[in-house]
Chain A
Amino acid sequence: MSLTKKSDQQDVQKVDRVELTPASRVVECENAYTLTVELPGVSEKEIELTLENRVLSITAENTLEVFKDYTLVLHELPEARYRAAFDLPDHVDTAGIKAATKNGLLVLTLPKREEVKPRRIAVKAG
């Protein structure tokens, strides 16, 4: 049996992260929705995307540099934990969701199901 002293646990440095909702926007196209989430300073490894009961959840943590031998004189960027959740409408084909990162943006493509996509119906001469 081992007992852990309180002081031992404190050796693990914990960063107090600020919980933030990231800025995001949705654009609807003919075949898909594009969901863009701003995650500055977040590498793709630090992004967790989960889909459960048609709720798409995003959790991400940013990494800020600590400059050695420098003093922080203006502090506006928080060590952040970004959290956001989106209810996906029924006509989104969840199996076809794609995610990519670019310039600190997480870009999700949410394709629509085949049956709700606009389509042309050919008219045949009788």
Chain B
Amino acid sequence: MRAYLNTINNPWRVFDEVMGDFPFDLFDTALRTRARRYPRVNVWESEDGLAVQAEVAGVEPDKLDVAVDANILTIKGEREQADGSRAEFQRSFNLPFELENDKIKATIKNGLLTVKIPRKPIEKRKIAIEKL
């Protein structure tokens, strides 16, 4: 129900909720909650495209990967955890529109990742109406 409500208010949450609710609660919930919320992000949307900022302190820029597949944006990489061990992370966002996957602009500064991706233009096609 929570996931459903979030769908109405905020389409961006959907992917996270679906990933988190079932059936992984068998694991340590606190641990999973932390894991699936990494990295934390701000997502901005406009008619032109999408802008994302993500907190990735301590992640080496070459250990970070941003990818777009149609309408799914994925940020993944490897980071050092509090205990010093290395762990992989991944977070995906299901977007309400498609993006240009070959026009991703990503920069990283002070452990803050900034990504800008333009929207894929919607192909308009006129459909001829035949007379019967």
Binding site for B on A (CB under 8 A): 23, 25, 27, 36, 38-43, 62, 64-65, 67, 69-77, 101, 103-105
Contact = CB atoms under 8 A, between A and B. Distances in A.
The residue among B40, B41, B57 with the most chain A CB atoms within 10 A of its own CB is B57
Given A23-B82, A41-B55, A105-B58, A70 B45 contact: yes
Contacts of B23: none
B36 to A, nearest CB: 12
- Interface size classification for chain B: 20 to 34
Chain A: interface secondary structure? loop
B72 interface: no
A39 B43 contact: no
Contacts of A38: 57-58, 111
A64 B114 CA distance: 10
Given A23-B82, A39-B111, A65-B53, 11 more contacts: A25-B84, A36-B58, A40-B112, A67-B44, A70-B44, A71-B46, A72-B43, A73-B12, A73-B43, A76-B42, A104-B110
Contacts, number: 92
Contacts of A65: 51, 53, 114
Interface string B113-127: 010000000000000
A76 B40 contact: yes
B5 to A, nearest CB: 15
A104 B46 CA distance: 28
A64 B53 contact: yes
Given A70-B45, A73-B43, A74-B41, A104 B57 contact: yes
B24 to A, nearest CB: 20
A70 B82 CA distance: 34
B110 A41 contact: yes
Contacts of A105: 57-58, 111
Nearest to A105: B58
Contacts of A74: 10, 12-13, 41-43, 93
Contact of A73 (B45, B60, B82): B45
